[in-house]
Structure 1
Amino acid sequence: MITINTFRKLALSFPETIEEPHFEKTAFKVKKKIFATYDPKNQTACIKLSEIDQNVFSSADKTIIYPVNNKWGKQGWTLIELKKVNKDLFIDALITAYCEVAPQKLADKMRPNDNK
């Protein structure tokens, strides 16, 4: 299970991430772009992924990670059931979402460097 404290700590550890209210949710943004939101009522995260990444993460378990059931889901917005998700899988998905919206220089700081 991922708590809001764990979610917040992870998201805010990414370069230049800020936390702001977003309607009844909490949004995590980089350079004014949302990469994740937290919904306390449903204990879910919603993250922004590419279509390919959305398919990859959803294939792990469609009852835990799945596209939003509307036009936003077709644009890569993906729900994660925080009561059920494995922490390592959540971290991988959150990093991937951050890299999807962050400028290249910031995203590169989060990706492993094969040349080291």
Structure 2
Amino acid sequence: MGTGSFVGIAIVATMLPAIAHADDPRDAAMRDAAARAHDSEMTRQLNLKAGVAARATGQRRTVLAGGGDYAAAMRAHDDEMARYARNRARYEHDMAEWRRAVAACRTGDYSACDY
């Protein structure tokens, strides 16, 4: 084993006790009622944020699955797809012009090199 392997093992061995005791109910830092209340409030806030995110995801799925205004969601989707197709066609056109200019420049038409 190389020196790097021993260093890696030493780092993991040092972190293992901290990882193993992260949720220890007998944690000395949680003996204080204020610390437990703070920890509980932090957990509650995280759960609230996760709940908001889950509800937002659920609402999007409901609209797409037929709940809510399905017709409006389909129109919005169709509009986005049409916008994408227009943008893609414009991109392809611009790339074709650029390729023609590059080809002309390489054949000696130096006026096309400024494209």
Q: TM-score, normalised by structure 2?
A: 0.21
Question: Over alpha carbons, which structure has the higher Rg?
Answer: 2
The answer to which structure has the higher strand fraction is 1
Q: TM-score, normalised by structure 1?
A: 0.21
Higher relative contact order (CA 8 A, sep 6+): 1
The answer to which structure has the higher helix fraction is 2
